[in-house]
Amino acid sequence: MASTFEVLAEPHRREILDLLREGERPVGDLVERLALTQPAVSKHLRVLRGAGLVEVRQDAQRRWYRLRLDPLVELDSWLEPYRRMWTSSLDALERHLDTMEDPDE
Strand order in the sheet with 62-67: 25-26, 62-67, 54-59
In this prediction, residue 30 carries a pLDDT of 96
Q: Is the pLDDT of residue 3 over 90?
A: no
In a domain, 22, yes or no: yes
Q: Is residue 94 part of a domain?
A: no
- Domain containing 55 equals 4-68
- How far is residue 91's CA from residue 85's CA, in Å, rounded to a whole number? 10
58's enclosing H/E stretch is strand 54-59
Exposure string of 62-81, with b = 16+ CB inside 10 Å and e = fewer, is eeebebbeebbeeeeeeeee
Q: Give pLDDT tens digits for 16-40.
A: 999 999 999 999 999 999 989 999 9
Q: How many domains does the chain have?
A: 1
Is residue 75 in some structural domain? no
Q: pTM value?
A: 0.75
Is residue 26, in this structure, part of any structural domain at all?
A: yes
